[in-house]
Amino acid sequence: MQIRVRLFATLRQQAGWAQQLLDVPAGTTLDGALAAIDSAYPSLAIGRRTFYAAVNQEYAQGEQLLREGDEVALFPPVSGGGAVAE
């Protein structure tokens, strides 16, 4: 099945892309997809950094089962709001 992978901020910049379609086996969990992303895009180095993952715009746990067409987003700790170092 196919999922959509989206990256933001540092992750997007390191990878050099913001959005990719990725083929994963049916029944893949979020953890499975993260492993697939790690081997498909080693430059992301997601094994060596802390990040958050969302499935269909909801923060998600590793064991969550994915479905065809799901949107998986990876991003660093958020820093919106006010000034720098607020």
Partner 1 sequence: MKLFEITAQPLSLDEVARRVVRPDCGAVATFAGVVRGTTATQEGVRGTDFLNYEAYTEMAEALLARIAAEIQGRWPKVVAVSIVHRVGRLEIGESSVVIAVAAPHRGDGCFEACQYAIERLKAIVPIWKEENWADGQVWVEGPRQPELVSHLGVPGAL
Which spans of this chain sit near partner 1 (rule: CB under 8 A)?
6, 8-10, 12-13, 29, 31-32, 34-35, 37-38, 44-54, 57-62, 73-86
For the chain, the straight-line distance linking the first and the last C-alpha, in angstroms and rounded, comes to: 43
Closer to partner 1 by CB, 21 or 50: give it.
50
Q: How many residues does the chain have?
A: 86
Q: How far apart are CA 15 and CA 43, in angstroms?
A: 6
Shortest distance (Å) from residue 44 CB to partner 1: 8
For the bound state, the minimum distance from the C-beta of residue 68 to partner 1, rounded and expressed in Å, comes to: 19
Residue closer to partner 1, measured from CB, 8 or 17: 8
State the residue for tokens 């953890």.
Answer: 31
